[in-house]
A and B are shown apart, each in its own frame.
Chain A
């Protein structure tokens, strides 16, 4: 199925998250990591999720994959995938769901490979157990996947510790697209890649995505990359979404002060070197209100009269 560029949007959502709330209960510290978050991702859409470090992005990704463990608790809300209730899935359904329907590249990708198995064996494993290919056919496909992410197929015989950080990230990306899932979750997939390789891999993912029509949830701190690749995006702060719109609109006119700080904080690549500050000390947003539509398709959390200095 091909999805035209214009058909993205929430018309035919693959993933629908409504009022998701996730808490980590601890004896020393209880955190509401995700607080009444709602968004949906359309078929063939690339949806970007950005935000403060520690604001709950990985927690959302793990919730979708049903990978949250004690002391995490889904305290409210729903996650629907292709109409099915993800939170109600049984073990058998989940097994299928995890590799074939949704695949995820973890933020810890560099560290998530099995250290005592070669890269090749790990990819072959996916094909033999989930797709039922023969070992020979699986090996052939594994080599093709490595080429896709610009790793020499000779590296099939390498163990993870023999690869650089970026090569491990690429191997994990290759494994995630192996079974052509309908939703691909990428949690900071390119932190260890130089921009040349990053650009190629993201272009390849985008091309695959156009060809196969899968959807992508793309988490990154690289706002330029996010704006370049995503159709729509959301910005989170303290467990809540503070702004969501088409990526281009957010880039052109960020409305929430936190989004403005994110968009305005890159050091430039030309011109004189100017001192920059992050979010000014003391600027903290609390009691973040529900989103309101500021212009068609552009939602932002209204600010109560701002306390503290403007960033």
Chain B
């Protein structure tokens, strides 16, 4: 059974189409990334999938249960880490987990064992009894993640889990999320506007912009769709000879037509490991000298720009 199945999900606020016709599925245990700039509609999508917001149109199922018709069934099966903070500053991590266990009707002994297990997973055993107002932003995020996992949800929602964290805290949260992917096997819907995050954590990525899901694929697949890797050869001497040699090489070993930008040849290749030896040989025989040599892989950022015509960072 699919962990999550969203069909033509839409939400309109008056004339604003916050989410439009969004369809995707998540398999059991899979991590799916929704990648898009601020205002793309990620949080609105999460709100509908977590029963907090009624869709204007379309439907969605969590582990087979409809989010509108069976909200109670859905709520017992999901864990949510919201984009904004959701802790009570005066309570401790342990108190948050305890209250959560009560709300989800966990037997007391199971709740206690699970609390210890999760506090270990998020590395907060030492700080578990301090009020969370005394913890750092990254630690509070980890409390929220542990809390969302308490009742062993079928689907975990992570809405921009590392937004607002410094790079070190972000990396720590990533490590922790990778560990929980290995240890918990929960399906995850991760939203982010952070390329590296989606690439590192998600098996499949959906690109979202202006309320629409533009493309869904594996990160590698999305990049392949954009084009192969590109070898950049900056020439110190012998540019003409190299240009002629590269032209002769075209079509062999998956090597495409070189594009010259100033003193740099950009050579698209199907696979760098097969093409690079042939390219280096040609450079040597043509007598050209290289100033620099670089293999560039398109990033998800490049994919995003290719699909939307905008960079993620400066999207409104």
**B partners with A:** no
